[in-house]
Structure 1
Amino acid sequence: MLLYEEVADRIGGMIKNGTYRAGERIPSIRALSRQMRVSVNTVMESYARLENLGMIEARPQSGYYVCSNLTDPARRSAVERVGDIAPNPVILGDVALEVMRNIANPALVPLGGGIPNSDLLPVDRLNRMLASESRRFRLQSISYPPHQGHKRLRTQIARRSLNSGCSLAPDDIVITSGCVEAMNLALQAVCRPGDTVAIGSPVYPTFLKSIQWMGLKVLEIPSSGSGMNLEVLDYAIRHNPVSACITIANFNNPLGSLMPDDRKRELVTLLAKHDIPLIEDDVYGDLAYGPVRPPSTKAFDEKGLVLYCCSFSKTLAPGYRVGWIAPGRFMEKVAQLKTLFNIATASPTQLAVAEFLTNGGYDHHLRTLRRAYARQTALAREAVSRYFPPGTRVSRPEGGYILWVEMSEGFDAFGLYEAALREGIGIAPGSIFTLGDKYKNCLRLNAAFWSERVEEALETLGCLAEKIA
Structure 2
Amino acid sequence: MAFRYQTLAHTLKLHILHHHLAPHTKLISLRQFAKQHQVSLSTAQACYEHLEAQGLIYSKHKSGYFVAPHQRDMHPNNSRYTETTFPSVIRSVSNLDLYNQILQASFQPNVIQLGSIQLGPQLIPMQQLKVSLQRALKHCKNEDFLYCNQQGHIHLQTALQQHWATDNIHIAVQDIFITHGCTAALSLAIQSLSKVGDSIIIPTPTFNGQLHLLAHLNRKIIEIPATTAGLDLERLEAVMATKQSQVCLLTANFQNPLGYCLSHADKKTIADLAAKYQCYIIEDDVYAECSYHTERPLPIKYWDDAGYVIWVGSVSKSLSSAYRVGWLCLSKQIQHLKPNILANNVVVNTPLQLGLADFIFTGAYKKHIRALQLKLYEQVRDFVHTIHVLFTGCDIELSMPQGGYAIWIKLPNQLSSLSLYQDALKHGISISPGILFGEDYKYQSFIRLNAGDPMTDQIHQALKYLAEWIKNRISY
Relative to the length of structure 2, the TM-score reads 0.86
Q: Secondary structure at the match of 1:199?
A: strand
Structure 2 counterpart of 1:374, from 377, 380, 383: 377
| 1:237 is aligned to 2:240 | yes
Structure 1 counterpart of 2:78: 76
- Could you say which residue in structure 2 is the equivalent of 1:314? 317
Determine if contact 2:398/2:408 at 8 Å carries over to the other structure: yes
Q: 2:212 aligns with which of 203, 209, 227?
A: 209
- 2:244 partner SS: coil
The change in CA–CA distance for 1:123 and 1:29 in structure 2 (over 3 A counts) is closer
Per-residue CA shift, 1:205-231, capped at 9, x if unaligned?
111121112211101111123322111
Aligned residues: CA RMSD: 3.0
Kept in 2, the 8 Å contact 1:200–1:222? The answer is yes
1:431-446 to 2 correspondences below 5 Å: 431-446=435-450
Distance 1:73 1:81 in 2: 20
Give the structure 2 partner of residue 27 of structure 1.
28
Give 1:24 deviation, angstroms. 5.5
Contact kept in structure 2, 1:133 and 1:351, CA below 8 Å: yes
CA gap 1:146/1:66 in 2 versus in 1, 3 angstroms: closer
- Contact persistence 2:96–2:212 (CA under 8 A): no
| 2:294 and 2:373 in contact (8 A); partners too | no
SS at match of 2:234: helix
- Give the total of aligned pairs: 445
Matching residue of 2:403: 399
Q: Does 1:96 align with 2:96?
A: no
Q: Aligned to 2:67, which of 65, 68, 77?
A: 65
Partner-residue secondary structure (3-state), 1:220: strand
Alignment partners' CA distance in 2, 1:218 and 1:239: 14
Structure 2's unaligned 5+ residue stretches are 1-10
> What TM-score does the superposition give when structure 1 sets the normalisation length?
0.87
The amino acid that maps onto 1:464 is W
CA–CA separation in structure 2 for the residues paired with 1:372 and 1:430: 27
Match of 1:166, SS state, is coil
Change (3 A) 1:430 1:104: farther
Q: Letter of the aligned partner of 2:284 in structure 1?
A: D
- Give the Cα separation in 2 of the matches to 1:207 and 1:8: 42
Q: Where does residue 8 of structure 2 map in the other structure? A: none
Residues 417-464 of structure 1: per-residue CA shift (max 9 Å, x gap) = 112112211111101111222111111111111222212221222112
The amino acid that maps onto 1:346 is: N
| Equivalent-residue separation in structure 2 for 1:376 and 1:166 (angstroms) | 28
Equivalent of 1:196 in 195, 199, 211? 199
Segment of structure 1 superposing worse, 301-310 or 412-421: 412-421
Q: For 1:66 and 1:320, how far apart are their aligned partners in 2?
A: 33
Q: What fraction of aligned residue pairs are identical, expressed as a percent?
A: 26
Aligned equivalent of 2:463 = 458
Tell me, which stretches of 5 or more residues in structure 1 are unaligned? 16-21
Aligned to 1:128: 131
Q: Tell me the equivalent position of 2:271.
A: 268
Per-residue deviation at 1:33?
6.2
More moved, 144-153 vs 87-96:
87-96
Compute the displacement of 1:313 (Å): 1.2
Question: Does the Cα contact within 8 Å between 2:99 and 2:212 map onto a contact in 1?
Answer: no
2:124 and 2:398 map into 1 onto residues whose CA distance is: 27
Query: How many Å apart are 1:40 and its aligned residue?
Result: 7.0
Task: Give the C-alpha shift of residue 360 in structure 1.
Answer: 4.4
State the alpha-carbon separation in 1 of the partners of residues 71 and 147 from structure 2.
55
Residue among 430, 440, 450 paired with 2:434 = 430
> Structure 2 matches for 1:323-362, cutoff 5 A?
323-328=326-331, 329-342=333-346, 344-362=347-365
Alpha-carbon distance change, 301 to 383 in structure 1, aligned in 2, over 3 angstroms: same
Match of 1:365 in 2: 368
